[in-house]
Structure 1
Amino acid sequence: MTEMRTEEEQIEAIKNWWKENGMQTIAAVVIVAGGWFGYQGWQSQKQDAGEGASAVYQQVLELSGSEQEQDLAQRGLLLDQLKTDFSSTVYASYAALFKAKDAVNAGNLEEAVTELEFAKQNATTEELSHLATIRLARVKIAQQAYDEALSLLAVETMGAFEGQYLEVKGDALKAKGEVDAARDAYSQAVAANQRDGANNPIVEMKLDDLAVN
């Protein structure tokens, strides 16, 4: 009888606990499960977006070698699609870099600035951010906005792009007429390239052109 009472008391205790805590337990399980499935869904959606963007970008690359108007127009539509439908992926910045290059070739520097600013702001990697910044500075120099270019180039961390940053800085300073400062920037660019094991004869030619006679 004692054992039976004990079992009955245990059952009654469980019933009472469930009355007091059952709904909270269910809610906790639902929240945890919801969070898990929500995360899984987000991961799946992210993967699907990346695969879709990759497929569109592949079409862009296939059309890149063609100069036919129809292909150029199709490529433009695909690039716009990457920026709008896949804005959260790395391919959106790739698309903006493509469009900026096309704009420069067409002589439309304002459009190039717009695209490069988009690429810079939406860059998902440091490498893309550096690349967009350097190209944007080059376009600013072409627009004779030298101080804006120098401001863009004044970054704390240049990484593997140090040589390029310093070269473009030299270009901006030379365009401003600050020859000594430009020579110093080119010298630093050459040194940075040597440290990184990079060979850039163009910046060396720029430095030679400013050599003191």
Structure 2
Amino acid sequence: MAYDLEEQEQIASLKAFWNKFGNLITWAAIIILGSYAAYNYWNYYQRNNAAEASGLYEEMTKSMAAKDNTKVQRIASDIEAKYARSAYAQMGALAAAKSAFDANDLKTAKARLQWVVEHGDDEYQSVARLRLSGVLLDEKAFDEALKVLSAVELPQFAGAVADRKGDILVAQDKLAEARAAYQAALDTMAKNDPGRQLVQLKLEAIGGAAATPKAAA
């Protein structure tokens, strides 16, 4: 059936429109479809990575229970290399640091903790710095330990930071400053904090008073 004049004009307009914008529309469609496919693949990739990292972390905890530090360190390295952006990498590095510390391998313990400091989020970094300061305390690197502690800024770690600072000052035989640090820890810790009693004992051991707690509920 022959087209009438109006239909011919519509077809001509459509052809003109397609000739002018056809390539742009095609490429826009390709980009949209490609982005959607990439998004789906990324979600799959992330889920798959999380599952694999979780499996490695579980294997690590079993190796820690068996006190197989060599295997723990190998698994930690695998997680860091393959899944560095996952939470399991940070948790694994902290666990591997403890395993190394228990095995008296302070160099490896420090390296694992430093990895978390450099790659972890704020809370994991704070935990790593607290533990790193403890390792440095054992090495009698007092000034370095205090410097590491000074970088912990999250308020929820203030009590733990003051407590560790007191330990370092005691090791330096700076008892007056240590008493002030322990008292600051007690003033910051919640009343139900399980660490309060130990801090109080350390304070009293260096001549501090068993003061009424000022901590918030």
TM over 0.5: yes
TM-score, normalised to structure 2, is: 0.85
2:201 corresponding residue in structure 1: 205
Report the Cα offset of residue 202 of structure 1: 1.4
Task: For 1:168-207, list aligned pairs within 5 A.
Answer: 168-194=164-190, 197-200=192-195, 201-207=197-203
Report the Cα offset of residue 72 of structure 1: 4.8
2:9 corresponding residue in structure 1: 9
The match for 2:142 among 141, 146, 161 is 146
Task: For 1:83-102, list aligned pairs within 5 A.
Answer: 83-102=80-99
Gaps in structure 2 of 5+ consecutive residues:
210-217
Q: Deviations over 1:157-210 (max 9, x none)?
A: 323222111111112222233322221111111121126x31312111111122
**Would you say the 8 A contact 2:130–2:164 is kept in 1?**
yes
**Would you say the 8 A contact 1:170–1:182 is kept in 2?**
yes
Paired amino acid for 2:34? G
Separation in structure 1 between the aligned mates of residue 69 and residue 180 of structure 2, nearest angstrom = 42
Alignment of 1:112 with 2:109, yes or no, is yes
Report the Cα offset of residue 34 of structure 1: 1.3
Task: For 1:30-179, list aligned pairs within 5 A.
Answer: 30-67=30-67, 71-123=68-120, 125-155=121-151, 157-179=153-175
Separation in structure 2 between the aligned mates of residue 30 and residue 211 of structure 1, nearest angstrom = 75
- Go from structure 1 to structure 2 and tell me whether the alpha carbon gap of 1:61 and 1:135 turns closer, same or farther (over 3 Å shift): same
Paired amino acid for 1:64? M
Separation in structure 1 between the aligned mates of residue 40 and residue 158 of structure 2, nearest angstrom = 40
Alpha-carbon RMSD: 2.2
Q: Deviations over 1:91-115 (max 9, x none)?
A: 1122222221122223222221111
Instruction: Flag the structure with higher helix content.
Output: 1
- Percent identity at matched positions? 26
* 3-state DSSP of counterpart to 2:84: coil
* 3-state DSSP of counterpart to 2:65: coil
* 3-state DSSP of counterpart to 1:24: helix
Gaps in structure 1 of 5+ consecutive residues:
none
Between Structure 1 and Structure 2, how many residues are aligned?
206
TM-score, normalised to structure 1, is: 0.86
Report the Cα offset of residue 140 of structure 1: 1.4
The worse-fitting range, judged by mean Cα deviation, of 22-31 and 102-111 is 102-111
2:212 corresponding residue in structure 1: none
